[in-house]
Structures are given as structure tokens and as C-alpha cells.
Amino acid sequence: MIGRLNHVAIAVPDLGAAIAQYRDALGANVGDPQDEPDHGVTVVFIELPNTKIELLYPLGEGSPIAAFLEKNPSGGMHHVCYEVDDIIAARDRLKDSGARVLGDGEPKIGAHGKPVLFLHPKDFQGTLVELEQV
Amino acid sequence: MIGRLNHVAIAVPDLGAAIAQYRDALGANVGDPQDEPDHGVTVVFIELPNTKIELLYPLGEGSPIAAFLEKNPSGGMHHVCYEVDDIIAARDRLKDSGARVLGDGEPKIGAHGKPVLFLHPKDFQGTLVELEQV
């Protein structure tokens, strides 16, 4: 069912330092910061030949990653995102298997403009899993 | 400098449950467990179209992921691995930039039989970074 790894998201407490480390020390192709006020994050994409790293920095009040950074002040890996062809079929299969979908169970439009769902980390070995319909 | 994302490693407290979730609920292509006694882990590879997920489970005494699972009893994302063409050149560039290489700074032969290095998570926004020469 799942296809490509769309991205790995890393929450960072200092966006400038993170950009410098990936661009200068690791020599990666780092994009410009993009504010996503609807999602409460500023996002920077790092383009690798086969996938992306998504740096997440809190934007505005009530950012969904503020609590994560309180628990992990240095930052850390926040979620992985797998691509699916049909997010409703994927959701129904996951619910049948007993996995919990976060929120009201309906796909939302994610930061890339595509339908997404998040799955409960306790059902996936402590890893927050995003599914994105591509 | 860095190339492909070779894998995302996820430490798991229950390998059977993790295999079932990825194979049955997420419908992924899950390999057989491989014991790596030299590295203190049992590894399961999940092959995605563009990269791999590596499930890590402790093997034997003094496993390098035992402490991680004590801190994260549900499991969690353990490290990301980026490919490089020349691990010595990569190490020297990183050291020049001020990043810390773990251990004695010399590449070791990793679980895939290739030279690897690990970089200090504090220098990479709380994320443990492995470099693998391919």
C-alpha cells in the first residue's frame, strides 16, 4: 500500500543554524523558508536525489510543533511521510487493522496542498506517520 | 556533498509487532530479520520504492540501542543515513565546519558492510546522522 518516502520531518529550534548545517556542513540543496500560517510552521525543504528532508520551525501561536520542541529542546525527528495512491482506501485499511487515525479521521489538506492523514505514534513504534495522497 | 537518503532507522521494542504493522497495516515490502551480532542489533529492512526503513531491535548485551529504548519505551526514530561518495573527505569537511564525529573519528564498517560514521546529534538539531560511503 505505502509507496515512496515523501519526506522526513525534523523539528528545529533554530532555523538559521539548521539551514547552515545542512547547506554548508553537509553540502545539501536547501530551499528558502516558506511560512505556512495555516499549519503553524515555517518549512524549509532539503532536496536529496531520492526524497526530501523537511525542517519545521514553529510559526505563530499554538504551533503543532511547539510542544515537541518543549520536550526536545535540541529538536529532533518529528515524523515520516509515506505516499499513498488513495488516502481513503488507506485510512479504511488502517482502521480495519486497528491503527488509530489522529483527529476526526478525515483527510486534511497538508502543507504541500495534498490530502494527508496522521497515524497515532503508539501504533507505529513511537513514530508519527503521515500519509499523503499523491 | 550528501547524496541519497539511504535509510531511516527506527528502534522498536517489539519486532514482531513492528513487522506486522508495516507488512499488514501499511502493506509494505518487509524483509526477514537479520541478526548483526557485531553491531548488537537485529535488523529488518522495509523496502520502499525510493529508500529503506531499517527497524532496529537490540541483540545481546550492550546493544547500542538499549539505552535509546529505555528513554523511549514505545520506540522511535533513531537516526537518518545519508550517502556520500568519499567518507574521509566528508569527515574532514564536517570537522572543518565544527561538527563532531562520534567515536575516534575513523570510519567503521557498518551493518551494510560499508564504511560509516556517526555525527553528534547536538550538531544536527537533535538528529543522529549516519554517513555511509556507497
pLDDT category, B111, cuts 50, 70, 90?
Answer: confident
Q: Is-catalytic flag, B132?
A: no
Tell me the C-alpha distance between B1 and B120, whole Å. 18
Prediction ipTM score: 0.95
Q: Chain A to chain B, count of Cβ pairs less than 8 Å apart?
A: 135
Tell me the C-alpha distance between B22 and B96, whole Å. 40
Q: Which residues of B touch A80 (CB under 8 A)?
A: 8, 53, 77
CB of A69 less than 8 A from some CB of B: no
CB of A48 less than 8 A from some CB of B: yes
Nearest CA in chain B to A72: B126
pLDDT category, A111, cuts 50, 70, 90?
Answer: confident
pLDDT computed for residue A110 by the predictor: 86
The Cα of A116 is separated from the nearest Cα of chain B by a number of Å equal to: 15
User: Which CA distances in Å does B118 have to A34, A49, A62, B81, B107?
Assistant: 30, 21, 34, 9, 9
Nearest CA in chain A to B77: A127
Is B99 within 8 Å of A25 when comparing Cβ atoms? yes
| Tens digit of each residue's pLDDT (9 = 90 or more) over B1-31 | 999 999 999 999 999 999 999 999 999 999 9
What is the mean pLDDT of the segment spanning B85-108? Answer: 95
pLDDT category, B110, cuts 50, 70, 90?
Answer: confident
Joined together, the cell numbers standing for residue B83 give 550517502
CB of B97 less than 8 A from some CB of A: yes
> What is the phi/psi pair of residue B90, to 5°?
-65, -45
Query: Out of B54, B83, B130, B132, which one is annotated catalytic?
Result: B130
User: Which CA distances in Å does B77 have to A84, A103, A119, B38?
Assistant: 21, 22, 15, 22
Residue of B15, B125, B132, B134 to mutate for A, most A C-beta atoms under 10 A: B125
In this structure, CATH architecture of domain B5-133: Roll (3.10)
For residues B80-107, one letter each, b for 16 or more C-beta atoms within 10 angstroms of the residue's C-beta and e for the rest, the string is bbbbbeebeebbebbeeeebebeeeeeb
| Tens digit of each residue's pLDDT (9 = 90 or more) over A11-70 | 999 999 999 999 999 999 999 999 999 899 999 999 999 999 999 999 998 899 999 999
Q: Which residues of A touch B124 (CB under 8 A)?
A: 21
Residues 6+ apart with CB under 8 A from B60: B37, B40
Joined together, the cell numbers standing for residue B104 give 575516534
pLDDT computed for residue B15 by the predictor: 96
Q: How many CB atoms lie within 10 A of CB B110?
A: 20
Is A8 within 8 Å of B8 when comparing Cβ atoms? yes
